[in-house]
Amino acid sequence: MQPGALAKALKSGAIWGFILLELIFFSVAGEFLSLSDKAFMDWENMLLLLKQSAPIGIIAMGMTIVMVNGNIDLSVGATFAIAAIVLLDSMTWPIFAGLGDWVIPVAWLLALMAGALLGALNGLIVWKTGVDAFIVTLGSMLGYRGIVFMFNGENPTSHLNWTLVDFAEAQFLGLHTATWFLLGVTFAIWFLMTRTVHGRNAYAIGDNREAAVNAGIRVGPHMMVNFAIIGFLAALSAVVFYSESGSVNPNDGQLYELWVITAVVLGGTKITGGAGNVIGTFGGVVAIQLLRKGLGHIGADTSTVNLVIGLILIAVLFLDKQLNVKGKEELKI
């Protein structure tokens, strides 16, 4: 066994071990504490779990590649809300009145484009100014949210289209529409990060930006593409979710950035960049939703969810640090 291999295996497996622990705990505790006669591990319940993971999960895949870059995007929640407004509002625009239900794909496309553009704008600013992504996207988080409030004040923006709702509620091969999107996005980003030059460059830049520049990687445009991807995915998440609910409050998507980052970090991505993968992120997303669902199942107070997730996050980072230190020591010998 190579030095550090055990640590590596432990690290990448930690999130799945944690999920297993949650499943066992909630199944056992559910027997005693839940009002429901159904088991927590009920097949239907697990399918719902995947579906409910989709809004955070789709964005988290984009966040993984951005964080592997050594960047971060705090504006995803606001982008999510803007895309939702574009989606729902554009369906009522008079120019599309003649399209009937064909307005749906048009509205989807517009929302996705809006998201990708807002993301690319973040990337462009990071690229051209050299300001840290944390600061840039902190600014755009506030700015984009401002646009949301300018659009319709404090009022919700609504358009309920039952065709769209039926599509979003549909189940194909047992899986909900939202689940298919989550799985599709996970696969696409996995492919991008492990099988393409762009993906390899992402790790190289996150590991050592100067070395990457010296190696001839065009760091600026690369990062801009990744910001466009996360903007697109934030919009996709909104499109999938609001197809099923048809009304957006101006503060929707608030704190999503924090849940997304939590999921990504739980999944083993290093906040300093250079390491991480979408499979781990998928685990992180499922772990959070499982915790929310499970605590609801056993009748625990909803506010305990945040406390528990916070504690686990710190525990995971602590464990990660311990394992890393150990790995390096072994290398020295």
Partner 1 sequence: MKIRTALAATTAILLAGVASAETMKIGITQNNVGVDSYQTTYEKAFIAAADANDAVETVVLDAGGDVARQIAQMEDLIQQEVDAIIIWPTNGEAVIPAVRKAHKAGIPVIVTNSNIAEQGFDFVKSFSGPDNITQGARSAEIMCDKFKDMGIENEAKVVHITGQPGYTTAIERAKGFEDRLPEVCPDVTIIDTQPGDWNREKSQQVMEAFLVKYDDIDGVYAGDDNMGVGALNAAKAAGRDGIIFVGATNFAVGYEAMAAGEYWGSIYQSPVDDAEAALQTAIDILSGKDVPFLNYFDTPKITQDNMGDFTKPVF
Question: Rule CB under 8 A: which residues touch partner 1?
Answer: 34-38, 42, 44-45, 48, 51-52, 55, 154-156, 158, 160, 165, 168-169, 241-242, 244-249, 251-252, 255, 289, 292-293, 296-297, 299, 302-303
In the complex, the smallest distance separating the C-beta of residue 88 from partner 1, rounded to whole angstroms, is: 10
Quickly tell me which residue has 């590649």 as its tokens.
65
36 vs 322, which CB is nearer to partner 1?
36
144 vs 256, which CB is nearer to partner 1?
256
In the complex, the smallest distance separating the C-beta of residue 238 from partner 1, rounded to whole angstroms, is: 10
In the complex, the smallest distance separating the C-beta of residue 107 from partner 1, rounded to whole angstroms, is: 16
36 vs 196, which CB is nearer to partner 1?
36
89 vs 252, which CB is nearer to partner 1?
252
Could you give phi then psi for residue 113, rounded to 5 degrees?
Answer: -65, -45
In the complex, the smallest distance separating the C-beta of residue 248 from partner 1, rounded to whole angstroms, is: 7
161 vs 277, which CB is nearer to partner 1?
161
248: β partners = 157
In the complex, the smallest distance separating the C-beta of residue 303 from partner 1, rounded to whole angstroms, is: 7
Closest residue by Cα to residue 115 from 85, 95, 159:
85
Closest residue by Cα to residue 277 from 218, 189, 216, 209:
189
CA atoms within 13 A on the CB side of 177: 15
In the complex, the smallest distance separating the C-beta of residue 332 from partner 1, rounded to whole angstroms, is: 47
Encoding tokens for residue 31?
């027997």
Burial state string for 185-201 with b = 16 or more CB within 10 A and e = fewer than 16: bbeebbebbeeeeebeb
Could you give phi then psi for residue 231, rounded to 5 degrees?
Answer: -65, -45
37 vs 210, which CB is nearer to partner 1?
37
Residues in contact with 74: Cβ distance below 8 Å, sequence separation at least 6, in sequence order: 134, 137, 138, 140, 141, 257
